[in-house]
Amino acid sequence: MTKDYLRAVFLVMLSALLFSCAAGQVQTTQSLFSPDTFEADQYEPKVDDFMVILDKSSSMSEKYNGQKRLTIAKDFLNAMNQTLPEMKFNCALRTFGTSGFGKPTALFYGLTEYSSKGFQGALDAAQRAIGRSPLGTAITAAAGDLKKSEGQIAVIIVSDGEEMDATPITAAKKMKAKFGDRLCIYTVLVGDDPAGETLMKQVAAAGGCGFSLRADKFKDSGDMGDFVKNVFLAEIAKPVVDSDGDGVPDDLDRCLDTPKDVKVDAKGCPLDWDGDGVPDYLDKCPNTPKGATVNKNGCWVYAAVVMFDFDSYKIKSGAFTMLNEGALILKKNPEVRIEIQGHTDNVGSAVYNMKLSESRAKAVVEYLIKKGIDPRRISAKGYGLTQPIAGNDTEEGRAKNRRVEFKRIK
């Protein structure tokens, strides 16, 4: 009994010695790291369980870019742990190489509810890099660790991929067959060994939905943020808000106050078929030629200046610029035919004003013909005092009503 007791004490002391020696072998040298943050109301977990498999074999004690490979691997996982938000995950950490008790692979943590502190503690305990590289054995063991998992699984393997045969690929395929579409495999290569990189890519490909990358491609916190988002997180779908009910969500709608039942374009703005700036649902002249000056009703009208004096059909010189614009538009649109519509104020009888409005329309037709417009394309019609655009109780209003409008008839 005494011998058994002494043997137990010796084993405990040996274990403590091995652990303390291991703790002195490798220390992470990760520089100050400011992780990206993910707001809880914007993201949710897209995996339920994740397994990290860390290479702790002897090749990981070699240096790459001035650092031990195991240090690089642990710095990567430290950054991942700091970036990963404290959400509802289950996680585990398994290593491969040779543990203090001679095992080719060991489960350092989990499978248990994830906490940053807990995972960090397990990662800190994974110190000494020694032994062969039985990644295939670690993957098979990890499949056993995950046997009770019922949700989505991410397996993250961090290794240099060196001194390995095809066993890890076979093990990864078996793991995929066991968990099916619930499992994705992600590999992170430490170093630049071509054969190791090929192997790591093949292991990731066996998972069907993961990817492979190199640790030295991570330059800043943004790169790690992208990795964490792609592997662990899904954006929470925002509720679709369409305040004006036009079928275009508010976040894409540039016209948020469109009246009900008005047809809109992809930007949520009312359709404007003729492009005159007046939406179709307000446009009383919906086929105005492009470039024509229109009023609030979308009609081709020249009323910005006084065109005629009282009781006159002689065109005032101030209207020539606008009429020249009309001639130019007709020349650019040779298929267009128009009706020149004459109007008057309400001074005088309706019969007299009807004749006066016809004379005004004909005067404009003659002007356009002189500007080179084919007379077959234009006609004249008078509307008298029947369609005022302004009040006739002021001189200003009456002057605006002494006008012509162009109406496209083809």
Per-residue confidence in pLDDT tens, the chain, 410 aa: 334 433 433 333 333 333 333 333 334 444 457 888 887 778 999 999 999 999 999 999 999 999 999 999 999 999 999 999 988 999 999 999 875 556 899 999 989 999 999 999 999 988 887 888 899 999 999 999 999 999 999 999 999 999 899 999 999 999 999 999 999 999 999 999 999 999 999 999 999 999 999 998 888 888 999 999 999 999 888 788 888 888 888 888 898 888 988 888 889 898 888 888 888 888 888 888 877 778 888 887 765 567 788 888 898 888 888 888 888 888 888 888 989 999 999 999 999 999 999 999 999 999 999 999 999 999 999 999 999 988 999 998 888 888 888 888 87
Query: Do residues 162 and 247 share a domain?
Result: no
Q: What total number of domains does the chain contain?
A: 3
**How many CA atoms, within 13 angstroms, populate the side-chain half-sphere of residue 91?**
23
Query: Do residues 93 and 231 share a domain?
Result: yes
Q: How far apart are CA 276 and CA 171, in angstroms?
A: 68
Query: Do residues 192 and 323 share a domain?
Result: no
The residues that bridge with 234 in the sheet, in sequence order, are 44
User: So what's the pLDDT on residue 29?
Assistant: 43
Write down which residue in 217, 235, 253 finishes a domain.
235
Residue with tokens 């996680």: 91
Q: Are 141 and 171 in contact (CB under 8 A)?
A: no
Query: Do residues 264 and 230 share a domain?
Result: no
Query: Do residues 228 and 244 share a domain?
Result: no
The DSSP code sequence of 88-107 is: S-EEEEEEEE--TTS-SEEE
Q: How far apart are CA 310 and CA 198, in angstroms?
A: 92
Q: How far is CA 169 from CA 92, 237, 306, 332, 339, in A?
A: 21, 36, 87, 70, 80
- 61: amino acid identity, one letter: S
Query: Do residues 316 and 219 share a domain?
Result: no
Query: Do residues 261 and 401 share a domain?
Result: no
Query: Structural domain of residue 262, as residue ranges?
Result: 240-271
Q: Is 360 helix (H, G, I), strand (E, B) or coil?
A: helix
Residue with tokens 């339920």: 48
Query: Do residues 76 and 191 share a domain?
Result: yes
Q: How far apart are CA 200 and CA 136, in angstroms?
A: 12
Q: Would you say how long the chain is, in residues?
A: 410
Query: Do residues 77 and 195 share a domain?
Result: yes
Query: Do residues 224 and 112 share a domain?
Result: yes
User: So what's the pLDDT on residue 303?
Assistant: 58
Q: Note whether residue 28 is domain-resident.
A: no
User: So what's the pLDDT on residue 6?
Assistant: 36
Q: How far is CA 362 from CA 133, 169, 293, 406, in A?
A: 98, 90, 20, 12
The pTM assigned to this predicted structure is 0.56
- Per residue, the 3-state secondary structure of 370-401, as one string, reads HCCCCHHHEEEEECCCCCCCCCCCCHHHHHHH
User: So what's the pLDDT on residue 68?
Assistant: 94
CA 44 to chain centre: 17
CA 69 to chain centre: 36
CATH number at residue 163: 3.40.50.410
